[in-house]
Chains A and B, each alone.
Chain A
Amino acid sequence: MKKLVTLTVNGITHELAVEPRRTLLEVIREDLGLTGSKKGCGIGDCGACTMLVDGVATFSCLMLAIQADGCNVETVESLAENGKLNKLQRSFVDLGAIQCGYCTPGMLMTATELLRRNPHPSEKEIRRSLSGNLCRCTGYQKIVDAIKAVAGE
């Protein structure tokens, strides 16, 4: 039986009827059509599905939509400002921190949380906070550089 869930996603509040077994990731991608967040593994290993739930970086593949009832969710779609990439996104592009791009939405959300909590993280802190987000392309260094470039300002 479907249940009613209220989700505020990127500032817009939705009331949705969802099957209890559906994950937050599935509901956001399939019902709300926000396909920026990716599914890599579905078991909490890769971080491609990372969103901020009430400000906390969360893998949405292992959270049921029902568990997010009443929460404020931010996805990668919320980052751009007036249709323009934000500083962090720009930095990823400029410094080559994106190759295939599959990990990027998760990396950006994890980095967004880190920078809110700690605007000037050390390289060690950056690496540690990214340790649950896998990237098969960049070798991580460029992602770290891209975040550092923003954090240094």
Chain B
Amino acid sequence: MILPEFDVLVPNTVAEACGMLSKYADKGVRILAGGTDLLVDLRRPIVPSEISSCDGCATHKTGNVRSTIDCGWWESDSSPESDRALLKKVQDSIHQYPGYLISIHRIKELRGITTNEKGSLRVGAMTTVTEIERSDIIREKWTALAEGADSLGSPLVRNRGTIGGNIANARPAADTFIPSVALDGVLVIQSEKASRKVSVDKFATAPGKTVMEEGEIITAIEYPAPPEFSGSAYYKLANRKALEICNVGVAVWIALEKPGGPVADIRVALGAVGPTPILAESVKKVLIGKKPDEEIIKKAAKAARDDARPIDDHRGSAWYRSMMVELVTDRMIRLAVKRAEGEA
């Protein structure tokens, strides 16, 4: 077995799930949605790096970090400093091995794509990426989200992976997260006692870190109704067409006052060029109130480039990413404008 030991709880309602979250908080508890990230992260390292296994006692030969600390093996080290450092490391790793997973697949209220009479969209947190990809209404009115879904992982990942999980993981390159920032999505977050709403662009604070608190669960993402003469687009720049994480991802949502007319509002979200998806605020200053002609779009794309904070990594250099932010933003603004005018 490749996974560490844990128990799985299967609640039927959100209230039940919240209750479990607080009840087992001190044992380490994680929400299991599609599992395409969590079950990968939970895999026991076959060769534990850094922390060696307990080889002194008969019961704990697995190299499992939890058993290593359980049997007190780390105490035998001589220097107090190294003991402390090791203990911290072990504790940190234990943090990754929750005692309980709460699998929320039975909760019906977390699923589904609905629009209300005002024309806004609600996507349940457990809605799979495939369901989003195949939703005609999302493709028509929240196009960038459909295009994000198209480009995420592979068909098999999309069949299991959920939008709630993709956003909750707070990775700066998450393909449904980036368009959700541009489309001004709002997360509905529930705890045992209360429910609150957090705008998607304020949700992540660092890679993997969010404003979520213990005992909370995302139940849905809501998107405002698109006004007339608005459109959106997402492009994932990557080396492969599938099973890939983007070098740069850009989502644009734009609203015009009338076809060919000045820009009423614009939101540009940049992915993989900062610790979280970035809402490029300076683009607004350049474009709002202006006619979106070639020159001004060029300027706006430059502004997006200035807002990006890319780093060098194995997917691309900061320099390359900066250039690509500008290029892709330019193209996506044009495409979104075309869509806003009903042409594409």
Query: Residues on A close to B: CB < 8 A?
Result: 1, 3, 19-23, 26, 42-45, 47, 50, 56-59, 62-64, 66-67, 69, 110, 128-129, 131-133
- A66, B103: Cβ atoms under 8 Å? yes
**Which residue in A19, A44, A128 is a CB contact (below 8 Å) of B40?**
A44
Cβ contact within 8 Å between B242 and A131: yes
The docked-state distance in angstroms from the alpha carbon of A90 to that of B39 is 35
Residues of A near B159 (CB, < 8 A) are 56-58
Interface pair B8/A3, CB less than 8 Å apart = yes
* 23 A-B contact pairs sorted by A residue (CB < 8 Å): A19-B1, A20-B8, A20-B101, A21-B1, A21-B3, A21-B5, A22-B1, A23-B39, A42-B2, A43-B40, A44-B153, A47-B154, A50-B156, A57-B156, A62-B40, A63-B35, A64-B8, A67-B8, A67-B103, A67-B105, A110-B155, A131-B154, A132-B156
Query: Bound state CA distance, A33 and B281, in angstroms?
Result: 57
Q: Are B156 and A59 in contact (CB under 8 A)?
A: yes
B254 → A minimal CB distance (Å)? 28
**Is B43 within 8 A of A47, CB to CB?**
no
With contacts A62-B35, A62-B40 taken as known, whether A1 is within 8 angstroms of B7 at the C-beta atoms is yes
- Complex contacts, A42 vs chain B, CB 8 Å: 2, 43
Q: How far is the CA of A26 from the CA of B1 in the complex (A)?
A: 8
Contact at A44–B10, with CB atoms within 8 Å? no
Instruction: Report B335 CB to chain A, min CB distance, Å.
Output: 21
Residues in chain B within 8 A of chain A (CB atoms):
1-8, 10, 32, 35-36, 39-40, 43, 101, 103, 105, 130, 153-157, 159-160, 241-243
- Residue from the list B8, B36, B241, B242 in contact with A44, Cβ < 8 A: B36
Our pick among B3, B101, B156 for the contact of A47 (Cβ within 8 Å) is: B156
Select which of B2, B10, B155, B160 is within 8 A of A63 by beta carbon.
B160
The one of B1, B39, B105 in contact with A62, judged by C-beta atoms closer than 8 angstroms, is B39
Q: Which residue of B lies closest to A26 (CB)?
A: B1
Alpha-carbon distance between A43 and B42 when the two chains are bound, in angstroms: 10
* CA distance in complex: A58, B40 (Å): 15
Q: Look across to chain A and name the residue whose beta carbon is closest to the beta carbon of B38.
A: A62
A-B contact count (CB 8 A): 85
B50 to chain A, nearest CB (A): 21
* Contact call A132/B40, Cβ cutoff below 8 A: no
Please name all residues of chain A whose beta carbon is closer than 8 Å to the beta carbon of B8 when the two chains form the complex. 3, 20-21, 64, 66-67
How far apart are the CA atoms of A57 and B39 in the complex, in Å?
A: 18
Contact of B241 among A43, A45, A131 (CB under 8 A): A131
Collect the chain A residues with CB atoms within 8 Å of residue B156's CB: 44, 47, 50, 57-59, 110, 132-133
Q: Which of A20, A23, A44, A67 contacts B6 (CB 8 A)?
A: A20
Contacts of A129 in B (CB 8 A): 155
A residues in contact with B43, CB < 8 Å: 42-43
Closest chain-B Cβ to A68's Cβ sits at a distance in Å of 9
A66-B10, A131-B155 given as contacts; is B5 within 8 A of A58 (CB)?
no
Closest to A42 in B: B2
- CB closest chain-B residue, reference A65: B8
In the complex formed, the residue of B with least CB distance to A22 is B1
Beta-carbon nearest neighbor of B2 in chain A: A42
Whole-angstrom distance between the Cβ of A113 and the nearest chain B Cβ: 9
**Among A21, A45, A128: residue with most chain B CB under 10 A:** A21
Pairs A-B, 5 closest by C-beta atoms: A132-B154, A131-B242, A132-B156, A20-B8, A21-B3
Docked Cα-Cα span, A42 to B44, in Å, equals 12
B100, closest chain A residue (CB): A20
Which residues from A are CB-within-8-Å of B6?
20-21
Given the complex of chains A and B, what is the CA–CA distance between A20 and B103 in angstroms?
A: 11
Q: Which residues of A contact B242 (CB under 8 A)?
A: 131-132
Question: Contact between B105 and A45 (Cβ–Cβ < 8 Å)?
Answer: no
Q: How far is the CA of A132 from the CA of B243 in the complex (A)?
A: 7
Cα–Cα, bound, A64→B103 (Å): 10
A76 to chain B, nearest CB (A): 15
A16→B13 CA distance, assembly (Å): 25
Q: Please indicate the chain B residues that have their CB under 8 angstroms from the CB of A43 in the complex.
A: 40, 43
Closest beta carbon of chain B to A18's beta carbon, Å: 10
Q: How far is the CB of B7 from chain A (nearest CB, A)?
A: 5
Bound CA span A62–B42, Å: 11
Residues on A with C-beta less than 8 A from B10 are 66, 69
